[in-house]
Amino acid sequence: MNESTFPGTENEMDRLPERFSAPEQVQPISMPPSPTSTPGTSAPGTGPERPAQQPARALPDNYAEMPKPTAKLTAEDLAPVNDPNGPRHKIGPTGRPLPDLPEALPPTRTGPAQVIAMCNQKGGVGKTTTTINLGAAIAETGRKVLLIDFDPQGSASIGLGVQPHDLELSVYNLLMQRDITADEVIQPTRVENLDLLPANIDLSAAEVQLVQEVAREYTLQRVLDPIIPLYDVILIDCAPSLGLLTVNALTASNGIVVPLECEFFALRGLAMLTDTIAKVQDRLNPKLEIVGILGTMFDGRTTHAREVLDRVVQAFDERVFHTVIRRTVKFPETTVVGEPITTYAPSSSAATQYRDLAKEVLARCPAG
Ligand SMILES: Nc1ncnc2c1ncn2[C@@H]1O[C@H](COP(=O)(O)OP(=O)(O)OP(=O)(O)O)[C@@H](O)[C@H]1O
Ligand SMILES: [Mg+2]
């Protein structure tokens, strides 16, 4: 996908009331030069001369004054961090001291739900994997969790063993037909406490049809209102776009989790994403907050992945989750079997990472 164009985004935002003044454009976060290159020079035939390395510009504006990650980690430091049997190291994979995360106590009552959107317009960064596995890990704590598949690809539905083309009713019907109620569409999953509001390709029509609706950005919030008291946490798996469906998801949410693949190009779309979040906060949903930024597909053996994570911590500081999700073939395997990692490989380190993430998310959203 061409990262400079996001279908629907500009139109959606341009149609909104003009109370918002766009923040200063943020440059993509730049990577340090490789040790072999000399700043300010370029080899013949490799394109125009590049300026000497600029300090990284990123959100928030005062990031230059923020404390920089201090520890340089070795692969050895990183390896056991999320290993349940290994020693807990003081410095985590994000280069900051690891906090002792409290175990999530069972809830004393159900609802009202915290609504959290998994959002990043970049494709393939781990949104769906995080929705399913974070949802399953929170469900293990005894909380009632609803996953909303809000992507016409239907990946979250497939990942939980539901075939999108077999669906009689999906989130599309809930959005577009006033006589359909959520309980007609929501399905239980094989995981205790975990329900699914499934989606299929029909949802792509909603993106077009909703444009005609009055208060179109609030459509998802309107249909979710009656079920908020029935769940503790609702997770929305967004599509890789910043179009009207994603704006609906952000308008209906209290929080956002931004999964970010730990590779350089993953950083490029972050400024546009934070800009969209700021616009939604200002014009549609002032209670929206970034719950956290999650490093995914992390390979601690490469300095590249660690440098990318360092940069994200410099820019977003405490909003970056201490937990990172490491790259492992177990996640593609879970899609094939149609179940979360917490039931497919319950004692794997991958399952432990999502349980750690669940603790962090619940600590940041205490009402959940
Ligand atoms: N930690 C990981 N290690 C290895 N593979 C992973 C990991 N997380 C996700 N994957 C794989 O990467 C692919 C993309 O992940 P996923 O579908 O979760 O991303 P997405 O952001 O939802 O993508 P899309 O933008 O298309 O919706 C999938 O095949 C998934 O199994
Ligand atoms: Mg997805």
Q: Is the CB of 296 under 6 A from ligand 1?
A: yes
Q: Is the CB of 124 under 6 A from ligand 1?
A: yes
Say yes or no to pLDDT of 16 above 80: no
How far apart are the CA of 108 and the centre of ligand 2, in A? 32
The residue-averaged pLDDT of 123-140 equals 97
C-alpha 103/C-alpha 90 separation (Å) is 18
C-alpha 150/C-alpha 238 separation (Å) is 5
What are the pLDDT digits (tens) for 279-316?
Answer: 999 999 999 999 999 999 999 888 889 888 999 999 89
| DSSP type of residue 105 | P
The residue-averaged pLDDT of 317-338 equals 94
Which whole-number Å values give the CA distances from 72 to 227, 309, 310, in the listed order? 46, 12, 9
How far apart are the CA of 1 and the centre of ligand 2, in A? 14
Q: Read off the pLDDT band of 24 (50, 70, 90).
A: very low
C-alpha 185/C-alpha 180 separation (Å) is 8
What atom of ligand 1 comes closest to residue 238's alpha carbon? Answer: 27
The residue-averaged pLDDT of 174-201 equals 97
Say which residue the tokens 């029935």 belong to: 230
What atom of ligand 1 comes closest to residue 129's alpha carbon? Answer: 18
C-alpha 252/C-alpha 222 separation (Å) is 8
- In this structure, which residues have their CB less than 5 angstroms from ion ligand 2? 127-128, 155
C-alpha 117/C-alpha 127 separation (Å) is 9
Q: Read off the pLDDT band of 104 (50, 70, 90).
A: confident
How far apart are the CA of 314 and the centre of ligand 2, in A? 27
Say yes or no to pLDDT of 244 above 80: yes
| DSSP type of residue 73 | P
- In this structure, which long-range contacts are made by residues 51-58, counting pairs with CB atoms below 8 Å and at least 24 apart in sequence? 54/30, 56/29, 56/30, 56/311, 56/314, 56/315, 57/26, 57/27, 57/29, 58/26, 58/27, 58/29, 58/270, 58/271, 58/311, 58/314, 58/315, 58/316
Ligand index nearest the alpha carbon of residue 327: 1
Query: Hey, whose CA ends up nearest to atom 30 of ligand 1?
Result: 332
Ligand index nearest the alpha carbon of residue 341: 1
pLDDT at 367: 59
Highest mean pLDDT: which of 21-35, 80-94, 340-354?
Answer: 340-354
Q: Is the CB of 119 under 6 A from ligand 1?
A: no
Q: Read off the pLDDT band of 33 (50, 70, 90).
A: very low
Q: Is the CB of 202 under 6 A from ligand 1?
A: no
**Which of 43-52, 214-223, 279-288, 296-305 comes out lowest in average pLDDT?**
43-52
Domains of the chain: 72-364 (3.40.50.300)
Angle 334-335-341 from CA coordinates, rounded to 5°: 30
Say yes or no to pLDDT of 247 above 60: yes
C-alpha 89/C-alpha 80 separation (Å) is 8
Q: Read off the pLDDT band of 83 (50, 70, 90).
A: low
**Which of 4-8, 117-121, 159-163, 308-312 comes out lowest in average pLDDT?**
4-8
The residue-averaged pLDDT of 150-177 equals 96
Mutate to test the pocket of ligand 1, among 3, 6, 129, 133 (most ligand atoms within 8 A of CB): 129
How far apart are the CA of 163 and the centre of ligand 1, in A? 18
Query: Hey, whose CA ends up nearest to atom 15 of ligand 1?
Result: 126
Q: Read off the pLDDT band of 76 (50, 70, 90).
A: very low
Q: Read off the pLDDT band of 198 (50, 70, 90).
A: very high
What atom of ligand 1 comes closest to residue 240's alpha carbon? Answer: 25
Mutate to test the pocket of ligand 1, among 125, 153, 246, 331 (most ligand atoms within 8 A of CB): 331
Rounded to 10°, the helix 270-283/244-251 angle is: 60
State the average pLDDT for the chain.
81
